[in-house]
Amino acid sequence: MECVDDEEYSPAARDHAQNPRNYGALEEYSGHARITGPCGDTMEFWLAVQDGRVKRASFVTDGCGPSLASGSMASCLVEGRSLEEAAGLEKKNVLDALGGLPGESEHCALLAASTLKAACGDFLRRQSRASEGQ
């Protein structure tokens, strides 16, 4: 696993890699997605949505320190936000919040944003199916 202790990483990126927030599956969730990126890292996100807002977001990854940092930061950025805002999270938002990542690790922020967006889409599909069943 890539070490994020060196000077290449911002204090925020090091902190989120070493102390990831919201790590682990949610037992009760409204949306879920799992994506394996081109680098081989897999990330999963779970969302608990209530009244159109992300009440809780959690993630797991089998990836490197930058993947941990990116998933952690993405989960923090969307909690309390509307589903629309959460679905609009982009790689740049994650990178900016982390204070950047080295170029070879920036794809981790894209994986986090893409997986989170897919979890939002899963929530919307579940809602649509539930309303069709009424």
pLDDT in tens, 35-82: 999 889 999 999 999 999 999 999 999 999 999 999 999 999 999 999
pLDDT at 3: 58
Question: What CATH number has the domain spanning 11-129?
Answer: 3.90.1010.10
Residue 76 catalytic?
A: no
Q: How far apart are CA 88 and CA 103, in angstroms?
A: 22
List the chain domain ranges.
11-129
Confidence of residue 133 (pLDDT cuts 50, 70, 90): confident
CB atoms within 10 A of CB 134: 4
- The four Cα atoms 98, 104, 105, 108 give a dihedral, to 10 degrees, of 120
| Structure token digits, residue 125 | 């599909």
Nearby residues of 99 by Cβ (< 8 Å), 6 or more positions away: 10, 11, 12, 13
Residue 39 catalytic?
A: yes
Residue of 3, 76, 108, 120 marked catalytic: 108
Which pTM was predicted? 0.93
Residue of 39, 64, 76, 120 marked catalytic: 39
